[in-house]
Amino acid sequence: MIPYGRQDISEEDIQAVVDVLRSDFLTQGPAVPKFEQAVCDYTGAKFGIAVNSATSALHIACESLGLKKGDWLWTTPITFVASANCGLYCGAQVDFVDIDPVTWNLSPQKLEEKLIVAKSNNKLPKVVVVVHLCGLPCDMKEIYQLSQEYGFHIIEDASHAIGGKYYDEPIGNCRYSDITVFSFHPVKTMTTGEGGMAVTNQKELAEKMQLLRSHGVTRDPQKMTHEPDGAWYYQQITLGYNYRMTDLQAALGLSQLQRLDEFVARRHQLADIYDNALSELPVNLPIRSEEKYSGLHLYVIRLQLEKIEKQHSDIFDFLRKENIGVNLHYIPVHTQPYYEKMGFQSGDFPQAETYYQEAISLPMFPTMTASQQEKVISILKEALA
Ligand SMILES: *Cc1c(COP(=O)(O)O)cnc(C)c1O
């Protein structure tokens, strides 16, 4: 099976992890702060908080922004469930904003329409989580403008988008958001095995997230209620979690980061080949744009079903049967049984639901060979014939 995504681990990556194994600290050592600084240097953000997953990063991001019971979090239905679940962890209610039919990202027009209604109902969101689907940056200027007008916070779920650029600036610089979150799961653009990071330019949010990452415990005398009892002393000043990243993971991340630009460039090469080879087929291809330089975590095509005599699932099954590891990103979150129990139903977000009926993620990863890609292309052509 040619997988839809796969990590690329070099001998240097392996050596970096082995070096940590031979060192004094497997966790809470020097590699984590080094990795955080390296991601800050890369993105231009001021503070980085490394954690054990993007899911954890989304949770502490929401909590640091004060999201709680009685508040609303809005996100896109076309995302992994984690982008919405983080609101529920904080006791907030979740709602969705339909996608744009061309970019497949959260639609700024739909957002504005929904904000106007929410304002009159006194139900404005406290947090909007935008997701750079497949790595394509969202319309951040428009969304930021709305955040200023309606007073909500923005979290960028950039799990797909590390290495991408928005108007020539790195995703993660938080110019148009409070916090940006990355995932380093092995299918993503760079990996730490499991892992994630939240970056921000706001010191107060960074300090809150640092506390929440590790039990709500501080060793900073300035934050304590009284002078330390002694050199051993720490205080728990809020309720936190154990969301820490290990030094093994951070060392792998540091090493992978050296090749991030290479990974993204290779993904663009592969995407160029797909763009050319598939341009005549009855499929819609992902947007490619200078101003929105995609991290290209995924290469998703949308079937023009009115021009094809087969069903979406037939094409999907045909590819799988031929050992092409296609996938579908994503099932609209509001149609998940857990969300349907909250009252959401099919028909609520029509653009997202149409996307779901048409989308297929084709294999794309840096070590993909030319012959693997040719195979994907020829079997897809056969499937659509
Ligand atoms: C992968 C992913 C997550 C979750 O990342 P983990 O690191 O596995 O927790 C969240 N949001 C999106 C959009 C993702 O693709």
Amino acid identity of residue 297, one-letter, is H
Low-confidence ranges of the chain (pLDDT < 50): none
State how far the Cα of 199 lies from the Cα of 210, in Å rounded to an integer: 11
For ligand 1, is residue 196 a contact (CB within 6 Å)? Answer: yes
For residue 22, the model assigns a pLDDT of 98
Helices (H), the chain: 11-21, 31-43, 54-64, 82-89, 108-121, 140-150, 203-213, 247-257, 260-278, 312-321, 337-340, 350-358, 370-384
Q: Which atom of ligand 1 is nearest to the CA of 297?
A: 15
Predicted confidence at residue 21, as pLDDT, reads 98
In whole angstroms, give the CA distance from residue 367 to residue 170. 24
**Among 73, 153, 143, 71, CA closest to 105:** 143
pLDDT of residue 348: 98
Classify strands 47-51 and 196-200 as parallel, antiparallel or unpaired.
antiparallel
Contact 58, 90 (CB under 8 A): no
Check if 53 has its Cβ closer than 6 Å to any atom of ligand 1: yes
Cα 344 from Cα 119, distance rounded (Å): 21
Q: Is the CB of 249 under 6 A from ligand 1?
A: no
Burial call 228-252: b when 16+ CB within 10 Å, e when fewer: eeeeeeebeeeebbebbbbbbbbbb
For residue 163, give every residue at least 6 positions away whose Cβ sits within 8 Å of its Cβ, in sequence order, or none. Answer: 135, 171, 189, 190, 260, 261, 263, 264, 295
Q: Is any atom of ligand 1 closer than 6 Å to the C-beta of 131?
A: yes
Angle between helices 108-121 and 140-150 (to 10 degrees): 10
The pLDDT value given to residue 114: 98
Q: Which CATH architecture has domain 11-257?
A: 3-Layer(aba) Sandwich (3.40)
Residues β-bridged to residue 199: 48, 180
User: Tokens 């600036």 appear where?
Assistant: 169
The CATH homologous superfamily for domain 260-384 is: Aspartate Aminotransferase, domain 1 (3.90.1150.10)
Q: Could you tell me the residue ranges of all domains in the chain? A: 11-257, 260-384
Residue-wise pLDDT tens digits, 58-74? 999 999 999 999 999 99
* Ligand 1 close to Cβ of residue 52 (< 6 A): no
Question: Residue 229 half-sphere exposure, CB side, CA atoms within 13 Å?
Answer: 4
| Binding site membership of 157 for ligand 1 (Cβ less than 6 Å) | yes
Q: What single letter denotes the amino acid at residue 212?
A: L
Strand, helix or coil for residue 74 = strand
Q: Kindly give the number of the ligand 1 atom that is closest to the alpha carbon of 196.
A: 7
Q: What is the pLDDT of residue 303?
A: 98
Average pLDDT for the chain:
98
> Percent of the chain at pLDDT above 90?
100
Compute, in angstroms, the gap from residue 376 CA to the centroid of ligand 1: 26
Question: Residues 379, 324: contact at Cβ < 8 Å?
Answer: yes
Give the Å distances, CA to CA, from 146 to 84, 112, 142, 158, 176: 20, 7, 6, 20, 11
CA of 383 to the centre of ligand 1 (A): 30
Give the separation between CA 363 and CA 5, rounded to whole angstroms.
Answer: 6
From 55, 162, 184, 361, the mutation candidate for ligand 1 (largest count of ligand atoms within 8 A of CB) is 55
Cα 33 to ligand 1 centre (Å): 22
Q: Which pLDDT value is given to residue 202?
A: 98
pLDDT tens, residue by residue, 154-199 = 999 999 999 999 999 999 999 999 999 999 999 999 999 999 999 9
Q: What is the pLDDT of residue 101?
A: 97
pLDDT of 117 reads 98
Query: What's the pLDDT at 306?
Result: 96
Cβ–ligand 1 contact at 130 (below 6 Å):
no
The CA distance from 75 to 47, in Å, is 24
Q: What is the pTM of this model?
A: 0.98
pLDDT for res 62: 99
Alpha carbons 162 and 3: distance in angstroms, whole number: 21
Specify the length of the chain in residues. 385
Mutation test residue for ligand 1: of 157, 184, 328, 361, the one with most atoms within 8 Å of CB = 157
Residue 329 Cβ < 6 Å to ligand 1: no
